[in-house]
């Protein structure tokens, strides 16, 4: 009798230890996922929940462990075990869903829906009928199907590559052993095979080790890929910065400043100065729809295209038509808004044209005029017409070219910065230099948009003043802001 008691106690201590380990692993996996806080670590959550639920199921199966709970809960022990038997399959399916792709992913999604139905029916049978395991055969069938599918994919190289499963000898052997044990356990109810109490916990321990190895390998691989991408983006950012003007040209009677703030490491905004001589210059501002790598590549294409259009720099309409002609066949469905301003300080004349771009702002004698001369966006049709607006230059005129990233930032209430606030900043800083106005505008936009909110679009702003005297070195500049790093020249 004493030997039997010792045997029972020893078996329960082993199960308690194993259940504790599983629960600890599950909690740690979920905690790491919460700390990382990225969608890419959902797989950690499913792994953690699977391990946690299995550990809880083992603990609930041990009378000595369940007895530490209040006595009023002791009667619910069979129901807890039954419910955990149903729901534990769900995180396993979600785990393998994260590892799969293509038709296998769709198959696992259907299996998840089927198991969710079985799970709900099983919980109903536990709570409201006298047969808590009425639906367990259906759950066993799904487990058997999952084991066979995963084992087949992992052991056949072509399938592993096709469906995205990580293939390694650890995962192959571990899942093979676990699969055999799972098949034996789940087929036992159909074939009346002898039960081995140790088989299921040991098999699951191997399963957790195997999935843990696969998970770590996946995370390390993703980390390396992320570092590689970040390194390449840093290079791309440096290359893109080299395509932008490093300073402002020295043009008689003009004071010029530019501010540039990309939303991501690389941007879809682009601006260029096209000085013909000391008295004539063109200003180009373009905004590729969207931002990121694709938009940045197209922005670089604008730089190259503009080099071939210098000969017609004094004709804004021809510049935009030329850009459309060169780029339209290369945009792959992307669209570009652009504005081009030509200033001739010798003749005192200016001309302006745009392609679906925000208006040119002209501050003149205490009044803000919006000059709109828009044609179609670049990339819509092959031979668009771009109307040109011509006007005179007066001493004290101030021009602002910008992209919609200036007026679109939203505050915590979802209100856009808007044209009215843009005009208010211009009015308040009418006596400031172009560089000071640019800095103030960027500061106002930052204050308007709460710090936790990410910048939604690239921002570009060019300010040009018509002045009689030669500007001081402090009155001109170009401001390039990349990841909150500011460089002024």
Residues 13 and 119 both lie in one domain: yes
Task: State yes or no: pLDDT of 344 exceeds 70.
Answer: yes
Answer whether residue 237 is part of any domain: no
**CATH code of residue 184:** 1.20.1070
Provide the pairing of β-strand 349-355 with 398-402: unpaired
Q: Which residues of 56-91 are buried (b: 16+ CB within 10 A; e: fewer)?
A: bbbbbbbeebbeeeeeeeeeebeebbbbbbbbbbbb
Task: State yes or no: pLDDT of 196 exceeds 70.
Answer: no
Q: Read out DSSP for 452-468?
A: TSPP-S-EEEEEEEE-S
Answer whether residue 239 is part of any domain: no
Please give the span between the terminal C-alpha atoms of the chain, in angstroms, as a whole number: 91
**CATH code of residue 401:** 3.60.40.10
Task: State yes or no: pLDDT of 160 exceeds 60.
Answer: yes
Residues 18 and 95 both lie in one domain: yes
Q: What does the pLDDT look like over 352-364, one tens digit per residue?
A: 999 999 999 999 9
Question: How far is it, in rounded angstroms, from Cα 393 to Cα 343?
Answer: 8
Mean pLDDT computed over 215-224: 71
Q: What does the pLDDT look like over 227-249, one tens digit per residue?
A: 776 776 677 666 667 678 888 88
Residues 200 and 276 both lie in one domain: no
Residues 225 and 249 both lie in one domain: no
Count of structural domains, the chain: 2
Question: How far is it, in rounded angstroms, from Cα 327 to Cα 319?
Answer: 12
Question: How far is it, in rounded angstroms, from Cα 257 to Cα 398?
Answer: 11
Residues 270 and 306 both lie in one domain: yes
Answer whether residue 87 is part of any domain: yes
Residues 106 and 252 both lie in one domain: no
Q: Judge whether 460 and 405 are in contact, CB under 8 Å.
A: yes
Residues 203 and 314 both lie in one domain: no
Q: Judge whether 44 and 36 are in contact, CB under 8 Å.
A: yes
pLDDT averaged over every residue in the chain: 81
| DSSP H helices in 41-155 | 42-61, 63-66, 77-87, 89-99, 102-128, 136-155
Residues 79 and 126 both lie in one domain: yes
Task: State yes or no: pLDDT of 171 exceeds 70.
Answer: no
Residue percentage of the chain with pLDDT more than 90 = 31
Task: State yes or no: pLDDT of 489 exceeds 50.
Answer: no
- DSSP-derived letter for residue 488 is E
Which band of pLDDT confidence, cut at 50, 70 and 90, is reported for residue 482?
Answer: very low
Answer whether residue 45 is part of any domain: yes
End residue of a domain, out of 182, 202, 232: 232
Residues 223 and 252 both lie in one domain: no
- Domain enclosing residue 190, as ranges: 2-232
Residues 265 and 181 both lie in one domain: no
pLDDT value of residue 67:
67
For residue 348, give both structure tokens: 């005192």
Question: How far is it, in rounded angstroms, from Cα 435 to Cα 398?
Answer: 12
Of 123, 122, 97, the residue nearest 112 (C-alpha) = 97
For residue 466, give both structure tokens: 């018509």
The number of residues making up the chain comes to 489
pLDDT value of residue 182:
65
Which band of pLDDT confidence, cut at 50, 70 and 90, is reported for residue 433?
Answer: very high
Residues 161 and 47 both lie in one domain: yes
Residues 52 and 86 both lie in one domain: yes
Question: How far is it, in rounded angstroms, from Cα 250 to Cα 377?
Answer: 31
């Amino acid at each position: 009798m004493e030997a039997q008691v010792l045997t029972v106690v020893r078996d329960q201590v082993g199960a308690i230890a194993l259940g504790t380990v599983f629960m600890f692993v599950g909690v740690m996996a979920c905690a790491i996922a919460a700390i990382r806080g990225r969608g890419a670590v959902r797989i950690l959550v499913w792994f953690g929940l699977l391990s946690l639920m299995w550990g809880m199921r083992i603990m609930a199966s041990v009378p000595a462990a369940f007895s530490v709970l209040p006595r009023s809960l002791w009667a619910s022990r069979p129901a807890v075990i039954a419910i955990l038997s149903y729901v534990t399959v769900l995180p396993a399916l979600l785990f393998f869903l994260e590892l799969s792709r293509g038709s296998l992913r769709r198959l696992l999604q259907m299996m998840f829906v089927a198991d969710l139905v079985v799970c709900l029916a099983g919980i109903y049978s536990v709570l409201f009928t006298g047969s808590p395991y009425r639906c367990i055969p259906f759950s066993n069938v799904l487990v058997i199907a999952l084991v066979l599918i995963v084992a087949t994919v992992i052991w056949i190289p072509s399938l592993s590559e096709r469906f995205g499963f990580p293939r390694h000898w650890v995962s192959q052997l571990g899942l093979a052993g676990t699969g055999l044990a799972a098949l034996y356990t789940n087929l036992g109810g159909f074939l009346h095979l002898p039960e081995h109490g140790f088989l299921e916990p040991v098999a699951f321990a191997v399963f957790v080790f195997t999935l843990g190895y696969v998970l770590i390998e996946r995370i390390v691989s993703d980390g390396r890929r992320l570092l590689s991408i970040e390194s390449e983006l840093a290079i791309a950012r440096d290359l893109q910065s080299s395509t932008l003007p490093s300073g402002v040209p020295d043009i008689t009677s003009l004071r010029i400043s530019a501010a540039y703030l990309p939303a991501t490491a690389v941007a879809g905004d682009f601006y260029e100065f096209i000085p013909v001589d000391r008295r004539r210059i063109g200003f180009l501002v373009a905004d590729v729809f969207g931002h990121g790598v694709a938009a940045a590549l197209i922005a670089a294409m604008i730089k190259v295209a503009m080099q071939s259009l210098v000969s017609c720099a004094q004709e804004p309409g021809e510049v935009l038509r030329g850009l459309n002609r060169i780029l339209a066949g290369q945009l792959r469905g992307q669209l570009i808004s652009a504005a081009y301003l030509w200033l001739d300080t010798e003749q005192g004349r200016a001309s302006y044209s745009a392609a679906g771009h925000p208006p040119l702002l002209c501050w003149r004698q205490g009044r803000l005029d919006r000059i709109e001369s828009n044609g179609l966006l670049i990339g819509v049709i092959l031979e668009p017409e771009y109307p040109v607006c011509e006007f005179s230059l007066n001493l004290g005129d101030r021009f602002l070219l910008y992209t919609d990233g200036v007026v679109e930032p939203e505050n915590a209430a979802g209100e856009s910065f808007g044209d009215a606030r843009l005009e208010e900043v211009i009015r308040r800083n009418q006596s400031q230099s172009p560089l000071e106005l640019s800095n103030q505008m960027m500061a106002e936009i930052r204050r308007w948009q709460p710090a936790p909110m990410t910048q939604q679009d690239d921002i570009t702003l060019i300010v040009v003043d018509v002045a009689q005297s030669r500007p001081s070195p402090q009155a001109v500049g170009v401001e390039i802001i990349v990841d909150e790093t500011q460089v002024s020249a």
